[in-house]
A and B are shown apart, each in its own frame.
Chain A
Amino acid sequence: ETGVTQSPTHLIKTRGQQVTLRCSSQSGHNTVSWYQQALGQGPQFIFQYYREEENGRGNFPPRFSGLQFPNYSSELNVNALELDDSALYLCASSSQPQETQYFGPGTRLLVL
């Protein structure tokens, strides 16, 4: 059974650019959640997708958007990057929205 995978592992962008991060959910999981973890902080909930629909959103601006595909993999898109967007972005999948989340290793984004 393959766990949650994320790509890329590291990424460097400049202010104003756009970025797309990818997540493959664990086999049999239909729910994906995205988190932003700044250095020394706990993860902050960005949003959750359940069966290709957004199923909850944290306090992030609209320039953070997402998609979930029919195979339940997911993308996180961030437009107009700001320096404060530098963080570890974590993806987690679960078999249902309320079930245990399994986390991927994360994508570390640096915005210069």
Chain B
Amino acid sequence: AQSVTQLDSQVPVFEEAPVELRCNYSSSVSVYLFWYVQYPNQGLQLLLKYLSGSTLVKGINGFEAEFNKSQTSFHLRKPSVHISDTAEYFCAVSRITSGTYKYIFGTGTRLKVLA
């Protein structure tokens, strides 16, 4: 079975400090990996994605993530956070099964940036 685990439900961090949001997945086949951000009362916005190639992926708003196949992880990082980064962050995987796509999201990590 395929699953996505976000190890931290909430992460408080002070402004301008670095942050890492953890994501682990389980899958017996190759997958695509994504991070999305959701601001209150809004839909999801793509931060970055890994399809293939370089394992370090850079996204919008200064975020980056590293794909680690041996540890089946795709952790999200930002070297210096801002108050405006306060939001819910979701890790997701997708894969093709019999020519169709299935997407699985983690339960989310609430990032709270403190002044």
A interface with B by C-beta (< 8 Å): 4, 33, 35, 40-45, 48, 55-58, 90, 92, 97-98, 100-106
Contact = CB atoms under 8 A, between A and B. Distances in A.
Nearest to A44: B105
B102 interface: yes
Nearest to A9: B41
A55 B101 contact: yes
A45 B44 contact: no
Given A90-B43, A103-B45, A45 B107 contact: no
Interface in B64-105: 90, 92, 94, 96-97, 100-105
B101 A97 contact: yes
B68 to A, nearest CB: 21
A56 B108 contact: no
A104 B32 contact: no
A43 B44 CA distance: 10
A6 B106 CA distance: 23
Which range contains the number of B residues in contact with the other chain?
20 to 34
A55 B103 CA distance: 12
A4 to B, nearest CB: 7
Contacts of A104: 43
> What are the 4 tightest A-B residue pairs by CB atom distance, in nearest-first order?
A103-B43, A56-B100, A42-B105, A103-B44
B106 A42 contact: yes
B101 A90 contact: no
Contacts of A103: 36, 43-45
Nearest to B104: A45
Contacts of B32: 98
Contacts of B96: 98
Nearest to A91: B43
Interface in B18-55: 32, 36, 41-46, 49
A67 to B, nearest CB: 17
21 contacts: A4-B43, A33-B103, A35-B103, A35-B105, A42-B108, A43-B44, A43-B90, A44-B105, A48-B100, A55-B100, A55-B101, A57-B100, A58-B102, A58-B103, A90-B44, A92-B44, A97-B100, A98-B32, A98-B94, A104-B43, A105-B43
